[in-house]
Amino acid sequence: MSATPVYICPMHTDVKASEASKCPRCGMRLVPQGAKYPLLRHMLSSPLHIAIMVAAMLFVMAAAMMMMR
Q: What Cα–Cα distance (Å) separates residue 19 from each residue in 11, 15, 16, 41, 48?
A: 17, 12, 9, 18, 25
Distance CA 69, CA 58 (A): 17
Domain boundaries, the chain: 7-68
Distance CA 50, CA 58 (A): 12
- If phi over 0 gives left and psi between -120 and 50 gives alpha, with beta otherwise, what is residue 27? left
Task: Give the residue ranges of the chain where pLDDT is below 50.
Answer: 1
Global pTM value: 0.55
Tell me: the pLDDT tens digits for 47-58? Answer: 888 898 899 999
